[in-house]
Structure 1
Amino acid sequence: MFFGGFNYHGNSFEQTYRCYPASFIDKPQLEIGDKIIMPPSALDRLASLHIDYPMLFELHNAATERVSHCGVLEFIAEEGMIYMPYWMMQNLLLQEGDVVRVKNTTLPKGTYVKLQPHTKDFLDISNPKAILETTLRNFSCLTTGDSIMVAYNNKKYYIDIVETKPSSAISIIETDCEVDFAPPLDYKEPERPQPLTTSKAPEQAQGLQSEAEAEIKFTPFTGAGRRLDGKPAKENAPIIGSSVKNNKSEPVNGTKLISPSTSEGSSSRQAKGKLVFGSNANRAPKDAQNVAPKETSEETAKKEQPKFQAFTGKKYSLKG
Structure 2
Amino acid sequence: MFSFNMFDHPIPRVFQNRFSTQYRCFSVSMLAGPNDRSDVEKGGKIIMPPSALDQLSRLNITYPMLFKLTNKNSDRMTHCGVLEFVADEGICYLPHWMMQNLLLEEGGLVQVESVNLQVATYSKFQPQSPDFLDITNPKAVLENALRNFACLTTGDVIAINYNEKIYELRVMETKPDKAVSIIECDMNVDFDAPLGYKEPERSAQHEDTTDVEADHSGYVSDVGFRAFSGSGNRLDGKKKGVEPSPSPIKPGDIRRGIPNYDFKIGRITFIRNSRPLVKKVEEDESGSRFIAFSGEGQSLRKKGRKP
TM bucket (normalised to shorter chain) is 0.5 to 0.7
The answer on 1:32 being equivalent to 2:38 is no
Deviation at 1:71, TM superposition (A): 0.2
**CA RMSD in angstroms, aligned pairs only:** 1.5
Question: What is aligned with 2:25?
Answer: 19
Q: Which one of the candidate residues 126, 149, 156 is aligned to 2:159? A: 149
Deviation of 1:193 (Å): 6.6
Compute the TM-score of the two structures, normalised by the length of structure 2: 0.61
Looking at structure 2, the residues matched to 80 and 60 of structure 1 have their Cα atoms a distance apart, in angstroms, of: 16
What is the DSSP-based 3-state SS (H/G/I as helix, E as strand, rest coil) of the residue aligned with 2:99?
helix
> Alpha-carbon deviations, 1:110-134, whole Å to 9, x = none?
0000000011211211222221111
Which amino acid is 1:8 matched to? V
Q: SS of 2:73's equivalent?
A: coil
1:7 aligns with 2:33: no
Q: Cα offset for 1:7? A: 1.5
- Residue type of the alignment partner of 2:127: P
SS in 2 for 1:137: helix
1:170 offset after TM fit, Å? 0.3
What is the percent sequence identity of the aligned residues?
A: 56
Aligned equivalent of 1:167, options 162, 167, 177: 177
Task: Measure how far apart 1:192 and its partner are.
Answer: 5.7
> Which runs of structure 2 are paired with 1:184-199 in the superposition (5 Å)?
184-191=194-201
Give the counterpart letter for 1:51 in structure 2: I
Distance in 1, matches of 2:188 and 2:137, equals 17
**1:76-102 CA deviation, whole Å, 9 max, x = no partner?**
000000001001000100000000000
Q: Could you tell me how far 1:27 is from its partner in structure 2? A: 1.3
Q: Deviations over 1:205-234 (max 9, x none)?
A: xxxxxxxxxxxxxxxxxxxxxxxxxxxxxx
Aligned pair partner of 1:91 in 97, 101, 106: 101
Cα distance in 2 between the residues matched to 1:28 and 1:194: 50
In the TM superposition, residue 66 of structure 1 has moved relative to its aligned partner by 0.3
1:100 to 97, 110, 128: 110
Rounded Cα–Cα distance in structure 1 between residues aligned with 2:140 and 2:175: 22
Q: Which residue of 1 aligns with 2:250?
A: none
Equivalent position SS for 1:161: strand
Supply the AA of the counterpart residue of 1:12: R
Q: CA deviation at 1:11?
A: 1.1
SS in 1 for 2:61: coil
Choose between structure 1 and 2 for higher RCO, CA contacts under 8 A separated by at least 6 residues: 2
Q: Secondary structure of 1:122's match?
A: helix
**Structure 1 counterpart of 2:13, which letter?**
N
Measure the CA separation in 2 of the matches of 1:127 and 1:17: 39
SS in 1 for 2:118: coil
SS at the partner of 1:102? strand
Query: Which one has the bigger helix percentage?
Result: 1
Distance 2:22 2:193 in 1: 38
Q: Which has the larger radius of gyration?
A: 1
Task: Give a deviation string over 1:8-52, Cα, whole Å, max 9, x none.
Answer: 112100000000000112411100111000000000000000011
Q: Alignment partner of 1:190: what SS?
A: coil
Give distance in 2, aligned partners of 1:77 and 1:5: 15
Normalising by structure 1, what TM-score?
0.58
| TM-fit CA distance, 1:189 | 2.5
Contact 2:139 2:189 in 1 (8 A): no
Structure 1 residue aligned with 2:144: 134
In the alignment, the residues of structure 1 paired with residue 13 and residue 107 of structure 2 have an alpha-carbon distance, to the nearest angstrom, of 22
Alignment of 1:109 onto 2:119:
yes
Distance in 1, matches of 2:111 and 2:142, equals: 29
| Alpha-carbon separation, structure 1, partners of 2:175 and 2:30 | 35
Q: Which runs of 5+ in 1 are unaligned?
A: 196-320
For the Cα contact (< 8 Å) 2:27–2:99, is it kept in 1? yes
Q: In the alignment, residue 191 of structure 2 is paired with which amino acid?
A: F
C-alpha distance in structure 2 between counterparts of 1:175 and 1:193, whole Å: 44
Output the CA distance in 1 between the equivalents of 2:203 and 2:71: 50
